Amino acid sequence: MPHCGELILDWHNEWYEAAQRRAIYSGQAAMDCPLCRQAVLWFESRDIAAPPVTAQVPVAQRSALLAAQWVPIREPICTALAGYIANHPAGQQYSGYWQPGEIQQADQQVTKP
């Protein structure tokens, strides 16, 4: 459970770079909660847990570009990251994660021919 105590519908670990995912899975890094942005451990795909206060693990941040690449494949009805964040219940939990310009830029990079 993250620090904020909220239920996260989808942690979207696939939106982290590959090296970050490996570090998160091995317990050498933490994910960030999309709502409170605090560190969350997801060691070996087990339960999500807030790290101890004394833990000094780096906190990875999700890539808007990877998220924008993911949406048309996994949630094609949303067409783009902006649509996923605006319309999908799991996506709405990321509404404050990136700045609108970051989302727009990522969506444009994905849709360029």
- DSSP-assigned letter for residue 112: -
Does this model's pTM top 0.85? My answer is yes
Mean pLDDT of 72-87: 95
DSSP 26: T
Residue that the structure tokens 């998220």 belong to: 67
Q: In the chain, count of helices (H) and strands (E)?
A: 5, 2
Q: Which residue has the higher pLDDT, 50 or 110?
A: 110
- Closest CA relative to residue 27, chosen from 9, 45, 8, 53: 45
Confidence class for position 2, pLDDT limits 50, 70, 90 = confident
> 9: pLDDT confidence band, cut at 50, 70 and 90?
very high
Kindly report, residue by residue over 34-52, the tens digit of the pLDDT.
999 999 998 776 777 777 7
At residue 54, the pLDDT reads: 74
- Whether the per-residue pLDDT at 86 is higher than 90: the answer is yes
Mean per-residue pLDDT, 2-12: 92
Start-to-end CA span in the chain (Å)? 41
Distance from C-alpha of 9 to C-alpha of 90, rounded to nearest angstrom: 5
Stated as kind and residue range, the H or E segment containing 32 is strand 31-32
The percentage of the chain sitting over the pLDDT mark of 90, rounded to a whole number, equals 73
